[in-house]
Each structure stands twice: as C-alpha cells, then as structure tokens.
Amino acid sequence: MADIVNLRTARKQKARAHKEATADANRAKHGISTKTRGQDAAKKARESHQLDGKKLVD
C-alpha cells in the first residue's frame, strides 16, 4: 500500500530544493573575484591555443 503524502509539504520541499540549486549556481557564478575569473579565462584560452597547435592537419 502507498504512503500518504501531504501535497502541500511536497510542493514546498520541491520549491526549497529548486531555490537551493539556484543559490548554489549563483554562489559559483558570483563567488569568484574578477581577478580569478580573468586568470581562469586566460588559462582556458592558453590551453585551447596549445591544443589547436598540436592538432594534425591532413
């Protein structure tokens, strides 16, 4: 037999989980300083450039 579920409580729990996921994404997005973000972007660009230089051309 199935368990009885309070739909109002389930809806609130779902909303809380969604808000927490959004908050985690915002923390990751805005929690990094501009300097660190710039360094990460430069590192990605440098790695991409190095990888492109190592590709074989037919």
pLDDT digits (tens, 9 = 90+) for 7-39: 999 999 999 999 999 999 998 888 888 898 899
What sign results for the dihedral spanned by CA atoms 34, 37, 43, 46?
negative
Residue 25 included in any domain: yes
Residue 42 included in any domain: yes
Predicted TM-score (pTM) of this structure: 0.49
Residue 1 included in any domain: no
- Mapped onto helix, strand or coil, the DSSP state of residue 27 is helix
**How many residues are present in the chain?**
58
User: What's the pLDDT band for 58 if we cut at 50, 70, 90?
Assistant: low
d(CA 55, CA 5): 57
Residue 2 included in any domain: no
Q: Give the chain's domain count.
A: 1
- pLDDT at residue number 24: 93
Residue 34 included in any domain: yes
Domain with 15, as residue range(s), is: 7-53
> Which single residue is written with the structure tokens 């710039």?
38
Residue 13 included in any domain: yes
d(CA 11, CA 6): 9
